[in-house]
Amino acid sequence: MTVSRPSARALELHELTLHGHRLAYRQAGSGPVLVLIHGITSDSRTWRRVMPYLARRYTVIAPDLLGHGGSDKPRGDYSLGAHASSVRDLLVALGHDRASFIGHSLGGGIAMQLSYQFPERCERLVLVDSGGLGRGVSVLLRAAALPGSELVLPLLAASRMLDAGRLAGGLLGRLGLRAGTDIEEIARGHATLADREARAAFVQTLRSVVEPGGQRINAANRLYLARRLPLLLIWGEHDTLIPVAHAHEAHAQLPTSRLEVFGDSGHFPQLDEPERFIDVLGEFVDSTAPAELDAEDWRELLKTG
């Protein structure tokens, strides 16, 4: 299957105001609702190779999280819970009660938080190279969580190491990142940190989930709550930011989940292998019934977990 050329409609950026702040998002298509949640320093463009095709069969919504992309970057709460509430509010404001949530990297942690805070709104959960499933994370992110890193980031972002969105000389490669998409995407996100407000939002978001020793949040003790929720794990085999071992451990803990390891991908399988990503996601949505959890179901899960 070949991915269609991106349509202007599918990639057009819209915006609305929620709680006094501008929230940018992309929306296209019709049918069952898919919400695509990007990772840290990224934005809705990380879905650019898959969103146009998905919009042929589904209603696809891809926000720029607060602090990222075209959205406002206020001083405030950038915790997983705050991001989850913001995505929930966007969904409701656009007239949708329920959706399947697909989260990449940090977005995976937000998607899990959404399914935990608002189980009645979550039909399916798809975690793509997700944070929040283990301690391990790249030295690059652990270093950025160190005290004082906010003083160094603007110097790096403005330096001549950045060349058309890439780090000349392979600095990121020497830090262990996989050549190709991973380095290009991380460097593109890194370049946004020259903006003071974006940099402050990045540091606050990162430190809410990562510390110098690794990830500070691990959802493994709550995975049992997804027993009645269709769950798909997609991971790049060569991810050097968040190890694929996290996917295998989560799948072993929740055998009802599905696991797809993309052998030619790093941290961004939706960009490295978009055709397979579309096929796997589409088959998962089409072959699973949306979860229907009521208050009694949730109570029983909590009591028996």
User: Whole-angstrom Cα distance, residue 230 to residue 267?
Assistant: 23
Are 271 and 46 spatial neighbours (Cβ–Cβ below 8 Å)? yes
Are 61 and 34 spatial neighbours (Cβ–Cβ below 8 Å)? yes
User: Whole-angstrom Cα distance, residue 84 to residue 11?
Assistant: 23
Q: Which H or E run includes 9?
A: helix 8-11
Q: Is 239 a catalytic residue?
A: yes
Q: Is 267 a catalytic residue?
A: yes
Q: Which of 190, 246, 251, 267 is catalytic?
A: 267
Q: Is 21 a catalytic residue?
A: no
Residue that is written with structure tokens 């270093």 in the block: 143
Q: Which of 86, 105, 115, 130 is catalytic?
A: 105
Q: Which of 239, 251, 257, 272 is catalytic?
A: 239
User: Whole-angstrom Cα distance, residue 185 to residue 81?
Assistant: 25
Listed in order, strand segments (DSSP E) in 40-155 are 59-63, 99-104, 122-128
User: Whole-angstrom Cα distance, residue 277 to residue 144?
Assistant: 30
Just list the catalytic residues. 105, 239, 267
